[in-house]
Amino acid sequence: MTRFLALLAFVALAAIGGCAGPGYNNASGFRAAVNAPYQLASGDRLRIIVFGQDSLSNSFSVDAPS
């Protein structure tokens, strides 16, 4: 019975520990990474829609720099 209670306590602690979110001790560093501008790279795909100009709307792939 003691082993069963110990196992049950271990499983309960593991389940509760798994629910814990990540700790952000450096919130300013996290915000800086989120707010950083995205730079296009080779292989990225863009979908450009020009309102009222169907002939100009298309999907494009970014090529490698030459």
pLDDT in tens, 1-54: 888 888 888 888 877 776 766 665 656 666 666 677 888 889 999 999 999 999
The Cα 10–Cα 17 span in angstroms is: 10
The Cα 52–Cα 58 span in angstroms is: 13
Entry field: residues in the chain: 66
pLDDT given for residue 57 in this prediction: 93
Ranges of beta strands (E only) in 1-66 are: 45-48, 58-61
Instruction: Determine the distance from the C-alpha atom of residue 17 to the mean position of all C-alpha atoms in its chain, rounded to a whole number.
Output: 22
Burial class (CB in 10 A: 0-12, 13-18, 19+), 60: exposed
pLDDT given for residue 2 in this prediction: 87
